[in-house]
């Protein structure tokens, strides 16, 4: 939606009986200054590794369309920083200025994610990645240290190896006081059988990490650490520059849907991997991709389970086929060539498809341990939260009656301020409120969208999350109002 609202953000906020929490705003680190601060706390490896990661976009733009096509390099974003709106460009660069303007945006409290930091989890070299992310978190925490009553920054949690993630989780929470963790996902892992390919071809010989299934490592110790340090895993990962989003000439083609694609993959992995079954107390967020994909995924999973659960598969066993009946029907309807082919195969139409690929557990849902209908809510709609940009009409799907079991999905208001798709930082709240004005969601839905769901995401995980903030009293009331059944499960 394009906002042509008559009300300003401050006017909308004044008419609400609840705070507004921005679940995913961004600041834009100024690389030359940020790198030198990193050099002081992490040395040359941290600073130079950071600058090298930031140079990837310029390197790609310098190639030109023909050379990008020859190399299989995607067209990156260009002109992605505000220039016509200098006030917002300055705001994105300076956390103190962002703090001073929050009332102007109608925001009481904001979780601030990186911009440069979105790229850092993809640094391939282990030592460099760890040094860069560690130093980044230190410098980022310093920038926001005196602004904690209204903003908190997300620490980057690298996930290439469990021990790497645990080390940074413990450092960020216990040493830096971080309350939000941005976890990397969908990063490439080299396919072992193709590890000897030339460097320029390696991007085509990878699988992408989704943690819950097929990972080379056991990540349960990471999720246990999340529980212990009271932090909710939130994924803000890219799906661009991969597979079907790899155009050498069209950035918009590569950009549309890429966050949703990465969130979809991570969410499926966590769910089918049974992680929400083993760690029912954890809450998870998949950011900036909206909630439309989540509603579809919820339905897709249920529909697949109905057809592929272990009981349903009984009817698909090859030996269930009545070969005599099949042959008689072929004869009856007069298909002699088909009858001859079937006879040569002893009545089996596809004997080469009787195998199961060496998989011992044929139930793809076995880790979920379903025993009742409500398990679907306990394992999907309750623990998962979805970051939704303000102008996305599909946000209403979270509150619609078409979701399985009629449940509401946990959509959280995510302004995305600081990035190119927010032309004016005063737009997101009026754009989000248009769903109420147009009758797509109710005022109660809007309260959950811009406040209640965000409180439950972080406050259920960490009841002290909002202590000392502008919204502490109202947040405590939301958490106290959770039903005893839900609280017991959590």
Per-residue pLDDT tens digits for 153-198: 999 999 999 999 999 999 999 999 999 999 988 888 888 888 788 7
Assess whether 291 and 333 both reside in one domain: no
Asked if the model's pLDDT at residue 39 lies above 90, the reply is yes
Assess whether 319 and 274 both reside in one domain: no
For residue 193, tell me if it sits in a domain.
Answer: yes
Selection from 142, 138, 116, 140 nearest residue 50 by Cα: 116
**What does the block give as tokens for 236?**
């803000």
**What does the block give as tokens for 154?**
């997300």
For residue 116, tell me if it sits in a domain.
Answer: yes
Angle (CA) 25 390 263, round 5°: 70
Assess whether 342 and 418 both reside in one domain: no
Structure-token match 């009481």, residue found: 108
H helix intervals, 72-202: 86-93, 95-105, 126-144, 162-174
Assess whether 265 and 340 both reside in one domain: no
Assess whether 194 and 273 both reside in one domain: yes
Identify the band that residue 484 occupies on the pLDDT scale cut at 50, 70 and 90: very low
Assess whether 277 and 344 both reside in one domain: no
| pTM, 2 dp | 0.94
Assess whether 328 and 212 both reside in one domain: no
E strand or H helix at 485: helix 484-489
Assess whether 92 and 169 both reside in one domain: yes
Burial class (CB in 10 A: 0-12, 13-18, 19+), 400: middle
Boundary-marking domain end, from 353, 387, 419: 353
Q: 409 lies in which domain range? A: 9-298+374-489
Q: What is the average pLDDT across 48-73?
A: 94
**What does the block give as tokens for 458?**
């972080």
Assess whether 153 and 128 both reside in one domain: yes
Structure-token match 């310093």, residue found: 142
Q: How far apart are the first and last CA of the chain?
A: 36
Cβ proximity of 482 and 303 under 8 Å: no
Identify the band that residue 1 occupies on the pLDDT scale cut at 50, 70 and 90: low
Selection from 138, 80, 45, 171 nearest residue 422 by Cα: 80
Asked if the model's pLDDT at residue 37 lies above 70, the reply is yes
The pairing of beta strand 410-414 with beta strand 384-389: parallel
Assess whether 222 and 274 both reside in one domain: yes
Task: State the sign of the Cα–Cα–Cα–Cα dihedral 42, 48, 51, 52.
Answer: negative
DSSP string, 15-54: H-SS--EEEEEE----HHHHHHHHHHHHHHHHHHHHHHHH
For residue 368, tell me if it sits in a domain.
Answer: no
Cβ proximity of 156 and 118 under 8 Å: no
Q: What is the average pLDDT across 289-318?
A: 94
For residue 386, tell me if it sits in a domain.
Answer: yes
Identify the band that residue 199 occupies on the pLDDT scale cut at 50, 70 and 90: confident
Phi then psi dihedrals of residue 395, to 5 deg:
-55, -30
Selection from 488, 487, 464, 461 nearest residue 476 by Cα: 464
Q: What percent of the chain has pLDDT over 90?
A: 84
Assess whether 434 and 336 both reside in one domain: no
Which residues sit opposite 385 in a β-bridge? 285, 410
Q: Between the CA of residue 400 and those of 151, 288, 419, 432, 440, what are the distances in Å?
A: 31, 20, 29, 16, 9
**What does the block give as tokens for 278?**
């083993």
Selection from 26, 111, 3 nearest residue 393 by Cα: 3
H helix intervals, 214-257: 220-229, 251-255
CATH code, domain carrying 412? 3.20.20.140
For residue 305, tell me if it sits in a domain.
Answer: no
User: Could you give the number of structural domains in the chain?
Assistant: 2
Assess whether 45 and 190 both reside in one domain: yes
Q: What is the average pLDDT across 405-421?
A: 95
DSSP string, 285-313: EE-SS-SHHHHHHHHHHHHHHHHHSHHHH
């Amino acid at each position: 939606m394009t906002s042509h609202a008559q009300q300003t953000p401050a006017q909308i906020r004044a008419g609400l009986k609840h705070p507004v929490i921005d679940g995913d705003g961004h600041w834009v680190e100024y690389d030359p200054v940020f790198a030198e601060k990193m050099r002081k706390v992490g040395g040359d490896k941290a600073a130079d590794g950071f600058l090298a990661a930031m140079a990837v976009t310029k390197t790609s733009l310098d190639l030109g369309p023909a050379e990008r096509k020859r190399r299989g390099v995607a067209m990156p974003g260009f002109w992605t920083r505000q220039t016509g709106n200098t006030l917002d460009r300055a705001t994105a660069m300076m956390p103190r200025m962002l703090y001073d303007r929050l009332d102007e945006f109608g925001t009481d409290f904001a979780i601030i994610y990186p911009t440069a930091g979105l790229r850092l989890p993809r640094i391939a070299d282990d030592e460099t990645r760890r040094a860069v992310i560690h130093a980044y978190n230190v410098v980022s925490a310093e920038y926001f240290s005196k602004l904690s009553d209204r903003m908190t920054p997300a620490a980057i949690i690298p996930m290439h190896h469990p021990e790497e993630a645990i080390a940074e989780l413990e450092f960020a929470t216990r040493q830096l006081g971080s309350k939000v963790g941005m976890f990397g996902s969908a990063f490439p892992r080299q396919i072992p059988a193709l590890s000897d390919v030339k460097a320029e071809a390696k991007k085509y010989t990878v699988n992408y990490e989704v943690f819950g299934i097929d990972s080379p490592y056991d990540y349960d110790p990471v999720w246990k650490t999340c529980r212990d340090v009271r932090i909710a895993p939130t994924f803000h990962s890219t799906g661009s520059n991969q597979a079907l989003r790899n155009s050498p000439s069209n950035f918009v083609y590569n950009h549309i849907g890429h966050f949703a694609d990465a969130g979809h993959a991570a969410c499926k992995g966590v769910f089918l991997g049974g992680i929400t079954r083993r760690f029912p107390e954890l809450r998870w967020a998949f950011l900036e991709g909206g909630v439309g994909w989540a509603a579809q995924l919820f339905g897709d999973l249920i529909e697949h389970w109905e057809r592929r659960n272990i009981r349903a598969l009984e009817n698909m066993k090859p030996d269930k086929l009545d070969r005599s009946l099949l042959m008689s029907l072929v004869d009856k309807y007069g298909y002699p060539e088909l009858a001859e082919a079937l006879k040569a195969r002893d009545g089996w139409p596809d004997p080469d498809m009787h195998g199961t690929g060496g998989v011992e557990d044929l139930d793809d849902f076995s880790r979920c341990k379903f025993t009742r209908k409500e398990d679907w809510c306990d394992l999907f709609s309750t623990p998962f939260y979805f970051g939704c940009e303000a102008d996305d009409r599909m946000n209403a799907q979270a509150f619609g009656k078409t979701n399985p079991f009629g449940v509401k999905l946990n959509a959280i208001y995510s302004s995305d301020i600081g990035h190119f798709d927010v032309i004016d930082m005063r737009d997101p709240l009026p754009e989000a409120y248009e769903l109420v004005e147009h009758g797509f969601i109710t005022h109660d839905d809007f309260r959950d969208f811009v406040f209640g769901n965000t409180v439950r995401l972080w406050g259920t995980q960490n009841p002290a999350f909002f202590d000392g903030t502008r919204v502490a009293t109202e947040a405590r009331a939301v958490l106290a109002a959770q039903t005893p059944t839900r609280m017991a499960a959590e």
